[in-house]
Chains A and B, each alone.
Chain A
């Protein structure tokens, strides 16, 4: 019997987005219209989130089979199906989407102008990413993944800072190039097997092994070329050094919630797509390229850490933190050991939550002070003493920082520990690098915390009253912090969901 909750997860935000456009906003009804629109947006997102949570909690553990399957023909002539399903690989991502999108919408509650546009675009983004995560047809997945780039263009280009047009342009050009590479891979794969299919289950299990094609007189391997195209295409959408320049500019110019949506949600989804396609469609190729993936992850880790130390702005610091966390995920992915791979998947979830916590507290500071840099160009402290005036905000920030650092008891500890355990047997040198990166991460995060929250308030802040978290802010930050602690103290249920799938996929690879 088919389960339609995934479709509900997909459709509810779309409907909410459409309603944002249709709801009245005229004079006299302005306040009513605004409140209704906001409630509709939050309601639509929550419906999707509740459906996602219900799906994850009702999944059976200790099995690698695809669950919650939903499948209908879509474009029959090209064997494109509307195929959705969940297993241990994407369940954590579904949880991530379910937790974060209502929080992001709530964080934009008090936007003075254009909040309906922002909410509508976030809802479209939520639907697109749900589709990308749950799709079991690679064309469908590509469709939703490409769709997810569009809301960012408007979110950055309309609501961004002074260089918003440049940031939006750079984002969309890079995304377009990446998506083009993905499309090329898709076409290559489609034409390589008979009968043609885009379904992952039809393509999985080494069906592409041995397939070749001719290009300009050369015979090339389909799996290798497709794998490289997919890797390159995804690398342009998520911040892989050095093709991350668009990401740092967007982090500087976009609204903070958009930066969170990009770094805490889209990046883990991109990593998941790479993992899904790599493990399922190209097991032998993934095995061959695994050391390279580890090297790419190590480069991200090391250079991200070095660059983060030099940052004086919460926005760019967040961008480089994302780079570092992604590096760790790639290292875990490339280790091809069960702890490492499970750790990488778990880290996608907790990395997203930790980055979201960081981004949201940075957003709170930005909204209250109008600035996000904690040192000006002359090296003088611009923030400081925030904890005196806003202890609740300081506590939330401390917990987010603790999770990002992998302090025991928080989700980050479980993910990073598993990655390190899994990587150690493959390359002990990686452990040393990761250790150094972690120590330096502690340095820049504690420095940031000290300069923003502790000590005497700077002259800019001392005269202004810095309001602590409002009731509304506490209402959405408390679940976030609670999740960080929950996933750190009781990871077993999720691990038991993820592990069988990983073991099955790794057995195919090895």
Chain B
């Protein structure tokens, strides 16, 4: 019998087993098996089983959330402690399980996996992504969550590394790595700042909706919180970080690999976004009601709107799909911050599943010049329609309920923001349906299979309104106080006990009007844009404006300019310090005194030597000359006469 206290360790161990199976698949997959995705599929069984077991244990304890903590880098009770922990609650276990299912769906689409140039990398990337998402949703502390986020990003990176022999794709991959790493680093720095002056940073004491008092001061630590939230939001890839989504411009052609689209969306965008959203959901109770949350939400709404405008002008299907995905996550996060976890989670889940489903279909698109359409084309288009409908908050799905809750909350508190949110939802709808019209008119590859259709529809099941909210319309019909079409118990009500207040009748009507109005106008706008005749761009104002918007508002050019400036400064610093200063001035400054001292010493030495020689020479010259005269005989007789005379004079005076 397994003790309940062992469950956290089992959860972690099983997740690590999945990660290891992914790594083994990446490194040795080709050698071990012709179908290496089975290795990862086997790895998925471990966390799936552990999650089911954990849920069962939780159910036996009336679903009371549990926290298990361990000091990782520091003792748990010390300031600045980095602790790791597992949080067992319904929400985390559900999302982790959905992630495992999503991974299984991706792997089950074997046609797409097989179409990848490196199957083992593709399969391994799925395993890493799922492991990262699972870890993020079950972690009780940001630190373990960061490891989960890093794994999810690694999965996205490795998925793109299936195509690393192409220059353009290599640049795109490096760009992705930098943007996502930058966000992760920002979030880590933020968490460090917050952790610096308080006890261990933990998400929850275990009671749903009640934050740890030790973390309560988080809202007061503005810089750390800004970095933390900013870094998580950066994982979505919205404005101004749309470079990766927009700039990689390789076209969708028969020669291009269709799996590339799916990997970009699912592994490089959806999984990291799920991991980041986990942290945002856990952060919500702490930031609730603060100005930071409101400011962040407003930024996300504006950024999503700008991104969507840019997405509408993209020529490449893949680029538009990426931007649309990023904007969806941003809007869902804004809903979380402005209307609470129920609204945000509903939108997020609906949009995610719709995006995954649609991108799976979009990946089977072929070029217009290809031969006849696939036999399953009508089914593929129907599946694509369903995917878009789920993502864009069509009635009957969980996203519709989430959108309604969001708008209701905004109308009650910030009506102007409600209008902005509705506009963004409309733009999201427009871009989504524009993508659908591209698919509708496009031709599907002969490789498209029954499995593609089945899996794309299967993915949408958790987003069904009746399953999630208990109401057939997804909670979009009037409430008395429960929705009039409620037929099952609401899962959302059990997940989120402290939700937003039921809106007044007036707010409901206004919110419904905004939501459905945005939806319908979005479809109409999409159709109108899609039907616009293609024309050659001229240099007029609107063409230039379109190009500006489509380029992501030239933010990339701004980044490139700044980086070029830094590069210029760096190269000049290097040249000045390493070159001029060290190779010229320092040797000159150090050597010159010594050289001059040497010259002076040499001169002094010469002067002294010459002077000494001169003096010695003068002192000895006269006596030497005299002696010389004596020797050579010229003065001999004079000398004798002088000496004799002198002697005679001396004798005379002595005798006298």
A residues lining the B interface (CB < 8 Å): 170, 241-242, 244-246, 248-249, 303, 306-311, 316, 337-339, 384-385, 387-388, 395, 405-409, 413-414, 417-418, 420-422, 424-425, 428, 431-432, 434-435, 438-440, 442-443, 446-447, 449-450, 453-456, 491-492, 495, 499
Contacts and interface: CB of A to CB of B under 8 A. Distances in A.
B72 interface: yes
B569 interface: yes
Contacts of A395: 27
Given A442-B185, A491-B72, A450 B170 contact: yes
B573 to A, nearest CB: 5
B60 interface: no
B224 A424 contact: yes
A424 B74 CA distance: 17
B238 interface: no
A387 B164 contact: yes
Contact of B173 (A418, A450, A495): A450
Contacts of B174: 446-447, 449-450, 454
Interface stretch (B190-198, B265-273, B472-480): B190-198
B588 to A, nearest CB: 13
Contact of B73 (A241, A246, A495): A495
A453 B567 CA distance: 22
Contacts of B146: 408
A347 to B, nearest CB: 13
Nearest to A166: B583
Given A414-B73, A425-B196, A443-B563, A308 B570 contact: yes
A425 B578 contact: no
Interface stretch (B100-108, B176-184, B281-289): B176-184
B563 A424 contact: no
Contacts of B578: 245, 248-249
Interface in B526-565: 563
Given A306-B566, A408-B188, A385 B224 contact: no
B192 A424 contact: yes
A424 B578 CA distance: 32
Looking at chain A's contact residues, is the secondary structure mostly helix, strand, loop, or mixed? helix
A455 B192 CA distance: 36
A442 B153 CA distance: 14
Given A249-B578, A417-B188, A420-B189, A446 B570 contact: no
Nearest to B165: A388
B74 A495 contact: yes
B72 A431 contact: no
Contacts of B185: 405-406, 435, 438-439, 442
B181 A405 contact: yes
A167 to B, nearest CB: 11
B586 interface: yes
Contacts of A499: 74
11 contacts: A241-B577, A303-B573, A306-B569, A339-B196, A387-B164, A407-B150, A417-B73, A417-B188, A425-B196, A446-B177, A450-B171
Interface string B339-375: 0000000000000000000000000000000000000
A121 B186 CA distance: 43
B582 interface: yes
10 closest cross-chain pairs (CB), A and B: A245-B582, A310-B570, A454-B170, A450-B174, A455-B170, A310-B571, A424-B196, A420-B192, A455-B167, A339-B80
B574 interface: yes
B62 interface: no
Contact of A385 (B73, B165, B568): B165
Interface in B142-178: 143, 146-147, 149-150, 161, 164-167, 170-171, 173-174, 177-178
Nearest to A339: B80
B189 A431 contact: yes
B80 A442 contact: no
Nearest to B570: A310
A431 B221 CA distance: 13
Which of B71, B178, B184 counts the most A-chain CB atoms under 10 A from its CB? B178
B581 interface: yes
Nearest to B227: A435
B295 interface: no
Contacts of A309: 563, 566-567, 570
Nearest to B559: A443
B422 interface: no
Nearest to A440: B566
Contacts of A420: 189, 192-193, 196
B577 A245 contact: yes
Given A387-B164, A442-B185, A492-B73, A306 B577 contact: no
Contacts of A339: 74, 79-80, 196
A409 B150 contact: yes
Contacts of A446: 174, 177-178, 181
A248 B143 CA distance: 36
Given A249-B582, A408-B150, A491-B73, A434 B577 contact: no
A439 B186 contact: yes
B223 interface: yes
B415 to A, nearest CB: 36
Interface string B48-81: 0000000000000000000000011110001110
Given A438-B185, A492-B72, A495-B73, A417 B192 contact: yes
A406 B583 CA distance: 34
Contact of A456 (B27, B143, B167): B167
Interface string B195-206: 111000000000
B12 to A, nearest CB: 12
A419 B185 CA distance: 14
Contact of A428 (B82, B149, B223): B223
